[in-house]
Amino acid sequence: MSTTIPGEPWSTGVARAADGATTVAGVDVRALAAEHGTPAYVLDETDLRSRARGYRRAFETAFAEIGAGVDVYYAGKAFLSVAVARWVHEEGLRVDTATGGELAVALRAGVPGADIGLHGNNKSDTEIARALEAGVGRIIVDSLVEIERVADAAAARGGAPAPVMVRVTTGVHAGGHEYISTAHEDQKFGLSIASPDGDSPAMRGLLAVLARPELRLLGIHSHIGSQILDPSGFEVAARAVLTLRAQLAERTGVLVEEVDLGGGYGIAYLPGEVALDPDRIAKDVAASVQATAADLGTPLPRFSIEPGRAIVGPAGLTLYTVGTVKPVRTDDGSVRTYVSVDGGMSDNIRPALYGAAYHAEVVGRLASAQTVLARVVGKHCESGDIVVHEVQLPADVRAGDLLAVAATGAYGRSMASNYNHVPRPPVIAVSDGETRVLVRRETEDDLLALDLG
């Protein structure tokens, strides 16, 4: 039969034996399914760690060449558990959190506050207080209101000024293969650098931080989008941020120490897709910021980046069991084989929400060489409950088959729901032939425990 294993979009630990058995880091998926049940998220620890290391090394090397420091923050929104926070921290990354919940996981993992950043466009007072209490390395403020809120909270606590970065929007929006650069913004995040009349919201934000002695203005933050495969957007945004930094320095004499360029590094979801290469992008961005800083006549800041998907996405796959197979005649007269699995939009909302494309294969047995056009669907009660819109599956795909969907490590479990009262699947780490449950399977009792009758 045709198989894309090994290779992208599968994690580096995925292999296939002559009898069709598929292994992840030496663990046979049949044994894994027998022990832990399906659906299950499977996370290849070695793969995840090497991507974390790869990003850190690529950026450290490229930025060292231009004489600038760089920190890599793992964006926990992609997927965060105590073990994963520990792994990335052991690999020299810091942790970017977007809510009090993510902050709690990072702290539970033992990540020092100084190595954690807190994001969010509407942080609660409790979240701000907890971040200050934990001594987070930076709070990324998102609005003028929030600047005062964080300053008031810091004033109430006393002690050292709270380190903040101001999130700005540069008009660059990237994702997929393209980016667009617009003067204006119509979305909720950050403060715009566009200034049709007087100071831009971004400049006003920076000045507001400088006006509050309870805050320490650490730097400027910009995140331009997600699943970016064309690196030029990063360079345009970096230029805009460095220019704003120079303008602030000219105006106030304060040259902020740090610039964060956000996350968004794209990965391969389908066979034949090519992920953004960290070495290449690091070199390109380093060269570009060096040139910009030289133009502006300002010394380089320390940089940081926040990849999420690129670290955890390719390291994960989802294992399902096929329940039903149904040929359906389509409008154009052709036949599409609907393959229903035991999960669906509750464990991966991305196809339904974004029309995201995935790749699936029958794993665990030899299947027929002949393939059919299939659509993998879930068990939820709506027709948009699609796991894989289009994929060639073996013509003999049948009930009981194990099906693996590639590259589900990012924004799968982290965006999972309990729609239809379906308990969320476990996250099973595999490494050196061993499995380890990182997040256990939810049970109906877990769900019923929330219902007070």
Site of interaction with ligand LLP (CB under 6 A): 75, 77-78, 96, 119, 223, 226-227, 262-265, 306-310, 350, 410-411, 415
Characterize the bridge pairing of strands 258-260 and 191-192.
unpaired
Q: Is 153 a catalytic residue?
A: no
272 assigned to a ligand binding site: no
307 assigned to a ligand binding site: yes
| Phi/psi of residue 176, nearest 5 degrees | 65, -140
Which lies closer to ligand LLP via its Cβ, residue 188 or residue 440?
A: 188
The three-class DSSP label of residue 368 is coil
Which lies closer to ligand LLP via its Cβ, residue 172 or residue 393?
A: 172
| Phi/psi of residue 347, nearest 5 degrees | -105, -15
Query: Closest separation between CB of residue 380 and ligand LLP, Å?
Result: 18
| Residue given tokens 């002695």 in the structure block | 213
Which lies closer to ligand LLP via its Cβ, residue 10 or residue 73?
A: 73
306 assigned to a ligand binding site: yes
CB neighbours (10 Å) of residue 30?
Answer: 16
| Phi/psi of residue 67, nearest 5 degrees | 80, 25
| Residue given tokens 């974390």 in the structure block | 52
- Active-site residue identified among 333, 334, 355, 381: 381
204 assigned to a ligand binding site: no
In the structure, how many helices (H) and strands (E) does the chain have? 12, 24
Query: Closest separation between CB of residue 358 and ligand LLP, Å?
Result: 12
Which lies closer to ligand LLP via its Cβ, residue 63 or residue 411?
A: 411
350 assigned to a ligand binding site: yes
Which tokens in the block code for residue 306? 């926040």
Asked whether the bond before 39 is cis by omega within 30 degrees of 0, the reply is yes
Query: Closest separation between CB of residue 236 and ligand LLP, Å?
Result: 17
Nearest-angstrom CA–CA distance, 71 and 73: 6
Q: What is the dihedral of CA 344, 350, 351, 355, to 10 degrees?
A: 160
Query: Closest separation between CB of residue 244 and ligand LLP, Å?
Result: 17
Which tokens in the block code for residue 399? 């009930």
Crossing angle of helices 82-90 and 100-108, in 10° steps, is 70
308 assigned to a ligand binding site: yes
Which lies closer to ligand LLP via its Cβ, residue 77 or residue 130?
A: 77
Query: Closest separation between CB of residue 119 and ligand LLP, Å?
Result: 5
Active site residues: 381
Which residue positions form the known binding site for pyridoxal 5'-phosphate?
264, 306-309, 411
Which residue positions form the known binding site for substrate?
309, 350, 354, 382, 411
Which residue positions form the known binding site?
264, 306-309, 350, 354, 382, 411
